[in-house]
A and B are shown apart, each in its own frame.
Chain A
């Protein structure tokens, strides 16, 4: 079956522009996660959705970042007024469920490589 897909795979944008990144999770997965990975660094957790709800948005780096999920499926991560330090690979993952006391594997998409010039 289809895995997690993300688009675009690469995005080059000018500083100050807004960008929108898309994640299409595995069908039936209720939990969705966004991460950021800078070159040579570990993954930074940004936000988690259980269904359409994101109970904790404190991981988003600044108020220029926002995320939404509609219909319990596709999610978009929007970065407004991009800065050079936003350059990174943005990874999306999905799992059968999020917090439920159970252990569920997160399946990752291939990521969107964002370069802000």
Chain B
């Protein structure tokens, strides 16, 4: 089983739609969580961190459920510019060993 698993995608949605991505992680020692965005042939960029209390940034809402080891990202009122691959990211470890695990990503296509 992969340490971080995401919806396979691709998601094809019309402009204005609401779309939700899910991500599960297997390591209970996971400590911090993020959503990154990666455009085609570009480097990943941080979209938002994910906090236990849930957090919102404009049209984007992220949720974390530690008990279920589950992270979600909700995008409201999708724009054409939201088309990208969304990467679920988990940090695991401590000073004796640390790693960042990226999910394989979910591709989103927003169409006019």
Contacts and interface: CB of A to CB of B under 8 A. Distances in A.
Interface string A17-58: 000000000000000010100000111110010100001101
B46 interface: yes
Interface residues of B, number: 24
A42 B99 contact: no
Majority secondary structure, B binding face = strand
A58 B100 CA distance: 13
B93 interface: yes
A106 interface: yes
B32 A106 contact: no
Given A101-B31, A111-B43, A106 B100 contact: yes
Contacts of A35: 102
Contacts of A59: 99
Interface of B: 31-32, 34, 42-46, 49, 87, 91, 93-105
Interface of A: 33, 35, 41-45, 48, 50, 55-56, 58-59, 91, 98-99, 101, 103, 105-111
Given A41-B104, A105-B34, A108-B44, 16 more contacts: A33-B100, A42-B102, A42-B105, A43-B102, A44-B102, A45-B101, A50-B95, A55-B95, A56-B93, A59-B99, A98-B98, A99-B31, A99-B95, A99-B98, A103-B49, A105-B49
